[in-house]
Copies of this chain bind each other. A is one copy, B any other.
Amino acid sequence: METELKVTVLGAGHGGLTFTGDLILRGYDVTLYELPRFIANIKPILDRGGFEIHGHDGLGKPLPKTGFAKISKVTTNIKEAVEGVNVILVNVPAFAHKEFAEKLSPELEKGQIVTLNPGSQFGAIEFGNVLKKKGVDIINEVILCETMSNLYATRKFLFRNENLYRVWVMATKAMLPIAAFPSINTEKAMKVLQGLYHNRLILASNVLETSIYSMNAYGHPLFMILGAIDMEAGEEPEWSTFDERKKGSQALNNVRTAVRKERDALLNAMNLEVKEFRLYPKGWWDPPYKNEFLPPPYEIGGNKLKMRYLTEDVPYGLVPVASISRMLKVPTPTIDTIIQLASIINQTDYWKEGRTVEKLGINGLNIEQLHRYANKGKL
């Protein structure tokens, strides 16, 4: 029985809390870990002994189990979080991958499976490089995976009067490509993980595929740029009237199409199939919690444009895509444009901050070598 699996979820954000609640209600033994500096985020969970989860399975039905998810194992101690578990689900922004890899490496045990949900662009390679450097054998002892996206389109709301989190799953993805790094371990991992993921996992060729298809980079930054003035003026990018304005924008559509073409040219150059994933065949259910506190996607108290749609999706999304494209002589004029404007807008050199082929240790590799590295974990 899969429910005998012991699972640790790292990160108590939207994605982490959702995974935690969904797994608990389905009978898994789950530990939730959050970084000590974010302990305030988990206070309501500790106070109440759990939180609620509601929402949709993405195939036209509610999630199989909803309601209050009782959890006793909530910790900010990484050793305690990881010891003796089978699966570690990493649900943190891409800019935190390196920190978590460093934290995890001394604690990992033989046979454990670590999955990045998602890896954004080339998260598993970056994570794997850190683990290898710290002496973890990701070929034979620990399995490291990344998914193409988060399993859930989801948000957590804090009901302040009740001091209670309610998670709302707008949709669970109908399919979710996954790959291990190296990919020789993918099938083994999938067998163990499939139940946790509502049997939605599908096999990706390798982490090159999950990474290049990782979606947020091709969406979020575009409307952040074309809607920058609007955002700053106080409209939030989620569940606001901005959503409606976005839908009607031909400008956004044209830029999205141009970016998509550049991505597809890269896929072609890398001998990866160009395909569409129908992630939400039955649509999307908006959250019913209009007046409750939704943790802002921007840095609290900070610049509204210094939020993950730019601070994560540009340096850990578009930059690695542009970097590997440049290496393979695939032009990315539109993607370059978004990186440049995002850098100016946030006065941050995202090229310098971001994941590049140099930092990933794959600079100068040809297509065959890239695939060999992704498949075997060595050259």
Contacts and interface: CB of A to CB of B under 8 A. Distances in A.
A227 B242 CA distance: 12
Interface in A251-280: 251-252, 254-255, 258
Interface in A338-366: 340-341, 344-347
A336 to B, nearest CB: 8
Interface of A: 223, 225-230, 232-233, 242, 244-246, 248-252, 254-255, 258, 303, 305, 333-334, 336-337, 340-341, 344-347
Contacts of A252: 228-229
A56 to B, nearest CB: 27
B337 A254 contact: no
Contacts of A345: 226, 250-251, 254-255
A340 B303 CA distance: 26
A1 to B, nearest CB: 49
A110 B33 CA distance: 85
Q: Copies of this chain, how many? A: 2
A48 B121 CA distance: 66
A299 to B, nearest CB: 14
A254 B223 contact: no
A229 B255 contact: no
9 contacts: A225-B225, A226-B229, A227-B229, A229-B230, A232-B251, A233-B248, A250-B303, A334-B341, A336-B337
Given A337-B337, A344-B334, A245 B258 contact: no
Given A230-B245, A233-B248, A337-B337, 6 more contacts: A225-B226, A229-B252, A230-B230, A250-B303, A255-B345, A337-B340
B258 A246 contact: no
Contacts of A223: 229
A232 B258 contact: no
Contacts of A251: 228-229, 232, 305, 345
B258 A229 contact: no
B305 A255 contact: no
Contact of A250 (B232, B249, B337): B232
Q: In this complex, which of A230, A255, A305, A347 has the most chain B Cβ atoms within 10 angstroms of its Cβ?
A: A230
B250 A233 contact: no
Contact of A333 (B246, B334, B340, B346): B340
A110 B115 CA distance: 81
A12 B228 CA distance: 35
Nearest to A303: B250
A230 B227 contact: yes
Contacts of A258: 344
Given A225-B225, A230-B229, A254 B333 contact: no
Given A226-B226, A337-B341, A233 B245 contact: yes
Contacts of A230: 227, 229-230, 245
A297 to B, nearest CB: 16
Contacts of A245: 229-230, 232-233
